Chains A and B, each alone.
Chain A
């Protein structure tokens, strides 16, 4: 039964690769333009800055690629990141007295946040498949819930990580491995994992089949509900991994943490050539999309030829232009 559902998807994908260069061309053009405007754009320090800060949205968007390809959507990721960050900090602060302010506490915190993220995703998946509620509504609901719970926990202020743990943990964000910042490694690792899962496993093919036609997938005896729930679990775990990188940056979480990340993550996925209606897409496209988005912000900060009042407009124009470049993929 498998060839029946996967064969058409495969040919579609092969045809699409040609048009998939749109975001890459857009990114290349932006890089050239930025370098002309300010040569320090190409400095190693700046490139590391951009890639490191892309890692949060990028990792979340890798998970989002699965959700969207399967025909779903997760609007809650920004709020979820905020609540996960706050919970992780409170958890580690509570553990510090028992385990000390070292790696033991941090590793426990990481495990805690990954489990919590997976559970949030599981909740979404169950409400959507078993509860048969539209994903837009479920995750719009949790978008509000997650952020208010964090606001409640922090009384509207900031939840701050204890100094001892913060000092050790900050190496995860600010440290280097083989000369490259650790968040970039994690980002690449998650993207590679996502790419393999999507393109080289039966699960990935099932996700694409479900997204392109759920009824057909059901008739083909795919376990549609289970696979869909899994996409939300993957999304939850991705948000948790992003949180693990986010917390050591400032050592705090506040109600403004992760604000509007959901829009950036979804935009990265769509700019990268994944269809918002589901069915097909690629992780590598998402990665390029995420880098493109944060590069726009970086270029705007590095130059002052355009009034700061128009920053959002420039971002809008670039996003639409890139979508135009890769429009062939949708047909």
Chain B
């Protein structure tokens, strides 16, 4: 009899514990490791969102994991499900194709899936997609360059790493340029989203072309190198350099009215924070959390720069 009572108590305790565990939902966040400026921003904002969501919703806990390649990320999301027992997964896939199957497996186990930035190859897997707008970024950049040049001039383009992201941005930019036949794109070369390559490629463009009106560097890291190369060559023909992504140093330049950096086009790493908040809303109840949210790529100019300036972020 005593034994029976003990057993019943233990069982009750276990059930109670499970009930408690069920009340506290766990959101797992899986993102690429901080290996360059933009991903550093992603890691920073994921941790910011964790702190903010855990404070706002006492019934939620958030786990942030970073991965250095697609294979590690695939293992990681398995661990998140089996070890950490997550209820929702927020994932910024390292690459779309290799992570589609692992995320599908997670989904089958009843996890609420929010995909950020890069989409999976099978969009039916995700419950919510918080999308970055790469073609939009290229288009906004193109429109700004065309407008700023008054539809006439000679420009050079520095591209990123040969990837889908780079192609989407570049093609959208070139589509805008096609509508402006008086703007000549002298050449486009890869600078690998890297400061040193930006410097080298720009030095060579300056050697090769005696007159350049503007530079589309697509990315602020590349633009750092581009600005140094222009400065070294003492060239006054280059009227402006348009970067992208929203590195804090560049937002600051725009704010301060640097004549060479009149604008920047945002590709905000804090879209990961948007996604974590969307996942959190799913557990607060009462609102429909479905479909696709597109985080737009707005133009940052002197007028609105201060609202995009985050001095504490590493990016």
Chain A residues near B (Cβ < 8 Å): 38, 40-41, 43, 45-46, 49, 53, 151, 154-158, 160, 174, 249-250, 252, 254-257, 259, 297-298, 301-302, 304, 308-309, 311
Q: In the complex the two chains form, is A156's CB within 8 Å of B40's CB?
A: yes
Q: Which of B207, B221, B315 is packed against the most chain A CB atoms within 10 Å?
A: B207
Known: A45-B207, A304-B187. A157 touches B315 (CB 8 A): yes
Q: In the complex the two chains form, is B189's CB within 8 Å of A301's CB?
A: yes
Enumerate chain A residues within 8 angstroms of B315, measured Cβ to Cβ: 156-157
Given A43-B207, A45-B233, 6 extra CB contacts under 8 A: A157-B313, A158-B221, A160-B249, A255-B34, A256-B221, A311-B190
- Tell me, rounded to whole Å, the shortest Cβ–Cβ distance linking A151 to chain B: 6
Specify the chain A residue showing the minimal Cβ separation from B205.
A301
- Tell me, rounded to whole Å, the shortest Cβ–Cβ distance linking B236 to chain A: 16
Q: In the complex the two chains form, is B199's CB within 8 Å of A297's CB?
A: no
Q: In the complex the two chains form, is A252's CB within 8 Å of B224's CB?
A: yes
Q: Which of A157, A249, A252, A257 is packed against the most chain B CB atoms within 10 Å?
A: A157
Q: Which of A38, A46, A255, A256 is packed against the most chain B CB atoms within 10 Å?
A: A256
Once bound together, how far apart are the Cα atoms of A53 and B203, in whole Å?
Answer: 10
Enumerate chain A residues within 8 angstroms of B221, measured Cβ to Cβ: 158, 254, 256
Specify the chain B residue showing the minimal Cβ separation from A250.
B195
Chain B residues near A (Cβ < 8 Å): 33-37, 39-41, 43-44, 159, 162, 187-190, 192-196, 199-201, 203-205, 207-208, 221, 224-225, 228, 232-233, 249, 313-315
Enumerate chain B residues within 8 angstroms of A309, measured Cβ to Cβ: 162
Q: Which of A43, A49, A156, A252 is packed against the most chain B CB atoms within 10 Å?
A: A156
Once bound together, how far apart are the Cα atoms of A154 and B313, in whole Å?
Answer: 11
Q: In the complex the two chains form, is B35's CB within 8 Å of A151's CB?
A: yes
Once bound together, how far apart are the Cα atoms of A43 and B314, in whole Å?
Answer: 40
Classify the secondary structure of B's interface with A.
Answer: helix
| A to B CB contacts below 8 Å, 22 in the list | A43-B207, A45-B207, A46-B204, A49-B203, A151-B33, A154-B40, A155-B44, A155-B314, A156-B34, A156-B36, A156-B37, A156-B315, A157-B34, A158-B314, A250-B224, A254-B36, A254-B37, A254-B221, A256-B192, A257-B196, A259-B194, A308-B190
Once bound together, how far apart are the Cα atoms of A249 and B190, in whole Å?
Answer: 20
- Tell me, rounded to whole Å, the shortest Cβ–Cβ distance linking A285 to chain B: 24
Enumerate chain A residues within 8 angstroms of B200, measured Cβ to Cβ: 53, 297, 301
Known: A156-B35, A174-B232. A256 touches B204 (CB 8 A): no
Enumerate chain A residues within 8 angstroms of B232, measured Cβ to Cβ: 174
Specify the chain B residue showing the minimal Cβ separation from A43.
B207
- Tell me, rounded to whole Å, the shortest Cβ–Cβ distance linking B239 to chain A: 21
Q: In the complex the two chains form, is B36's CB within 8 Å of A256's CB?
A: yes
Q: Which 9 A-B pairs have the closest CB atoms?
A: A156-B34, A156-B40, A157-B314, A301-B204, A155-B314, A157-B40, A46-B207, A256-B194, A302-B208
Once bound together, how far apart are the Cα atoms of A297 and B40, in whole Å?
Answer: 29
- Tell me, rounded to whole Å, the shortest Cβ–Cβ distance linking A62 to chain B: 20
Q: In the complex the two chains form, is B199's CB within 8 Å of A40's CB?
A: no
Once bound together, how far apart are the Cα atoms of A41 and B249, in whole Å?
Answer: 34
Q: In the complex the two chains form, is B207's CB within 8 Å of A250's CB?
A: no
